[in-house]
Amino acid sequence: MQASCESVPGVVVAGLRGGSGKTIISLGITAAWKRMHIAVTPFKKGPDYIDAGWLSLAAGRPCYNLDTYLCHPAVVRRSYATHSHSCDIALVEGNRGLYDGIDADGSTSTAELARLLHLPVLLVLDCTKSTRTMAALLLGCMHFDPRIRIAGVILNQVAGSRHQKKVTDNIEQFCKVPVFGAVPKLGSEDFPERHMGLVTSAEHGFSSQALASVEKMARDHIDLNALYRAITQDCDTAQKIHTEIDSPDKVPPAAGFTKPDSPPKNCSNDQVVIGVVRDSAFQFYYPDNLAALEDLGAKIVFISPLHQKTLPDVDALYMGGGFPETHAPQLAKNTSFRDHLKHLSQKGLPIYAECGGLIFLGQSICLKDKEYPMSGILPIWFGLSLKPQGHGYTRVLVKHKNPFYRTGEILKGHEFRYSKILKIDFQDHEMAFSMERGKGILDKKDGFFKNNTFGTYTHIHALGSESWAPALVEQARAYKMR
């Protein structure tokens, strides 16, 4: 099925708050449209890996993150246009409430992103124990910022047909906005939650069954054809975003990673191999980060410390976040991999690790009074807390000389962790980052490095931190030359 206009139409799925059901409904719509042979490109607003992983699985194609804090707005627009051009429709899942941002102006909010991309909003309304008030809340959202166009709503947590009719009648009478569906209360067995939200698709043993369940929910309770028509019949806003992106003066020269005009030749002599640790324990990677490395000529090889005894021949290693704590016994048991990694670190292999990867670089992690050894590269001993120890956007100043960043450089990222530092042994110059926003590893310091091994709680996005990918590739090339 093809969209009825030249540009790719899209919609932002938003809620009044976090936990309103927008993720489940976004997944259901995406999976159902895919079953209807509609090509959907999914996006996730904000620095989220778990929802993005599920959306990617539902759409059968990568899900890209759009974040106006991590990246310049022009880069966000370019990313949206670039990644959505080959589909029939784009679906952007928002985060938190529609207007929730980091300040009173709503900066970094879902509404700001909808305005930036000139996309209509599909609002998910949690109707628990409420009827006419939902119309009042919707009306408030419509008038709070007249620039936001709410194309329709989906009712969630509906108690029955009588409840549904009351809410629908009030919304249609007072708000003049179409109701595209009403979803009853669903059980949690298909999407169990853990301390960071939905369980990752990589860890969920029945991901295909879970997606089949939400797809059926969407087909049974949402008018998918009417929703698709409503979005695709209004393509003027989608055309506007493409017109703006095509203007070269809209994107400043340093706004995000740009693929080189003449990428390095991919011959065996000068192509570097970068290992990426990815399995059910480590799976938090932005597709744009991996693409940035490949665009610079690197070959990506995926590695699993859960299943492999040693590392293959690589010139650098990138270890993303994840849940090493839920796989601690298996990681600890694989002594040959841990020993090999430590040996390569001592030889000078460039290693860049974020959050969960940082934990694996440490000495151990203690869970319920039992200690599990990790790779033993960095002198940090970790534990796990019941409450978040770091949560939100970060802004760091590169204070000390290190293998990957220039001193004086400012980086924007994010952190979300429940792990805590039980013990650490470091000297001040071994912490590259001074935290201007966020917590970091300890005492507003982050970016612990020894030799060419670098571990940080701050996740970065390659389109916003444009120096990261070239530095990792250059370190890999230098290691290969040695």
d(CA 248, CA 252): 9
**164 in Cβ contact with 53 (< 8 Å):** no
d(CA 290, CA 194): 27
Which run of H or of E encompasses 168? helix 161-174
Which run of H or of E encompasses 33? helix 22-35
Q: What is the 3-state secondary structure (H, E, C) of 207-263?
A: HHHHHHHHHHHHHHHECHHHHHHHHHCCCHHHHHHHHHHCCHHHCCCCCCCCCCCCC
d(CA 461, CA 66): 10
Choose, from 71, 235, 355, 366, the residue flagged as catalytic.
355
Extended beta strands in 33-164, E state: 40-45, 64-66, 89-97, 121-126, 150-158
What is the longest distance spanned by two Cα atoms in the chain?
73
Q: Within 10 A of 138 (CB to CB), how many other CB atoms are there?
A: 21
DSSP helix/strand/coil, 280? coil
Exposed e or buried b for every residue in 314-340, given b needs 16+ CB within 10 A?
A: bbbbbbbbbbbbbbbebbbebeebbeb
Give Cβ neighbours of residue 49 (< 8 Å, ≥ 6 apart): 200, 283, 284, 285, 286, 321
**Alpha-carbon distances of 118 from 105, 112, 355, 482, rounded to whole Å:** 18, 10, 34, 50
- The rounded Cα 388 to chain-centroid distance in angstroms is 18
> What would the two tokens of residue 315 be?
């010139």
Identify whether 235 is a catalytic site residue.
Answer: no
* Catalytic residue list: 355
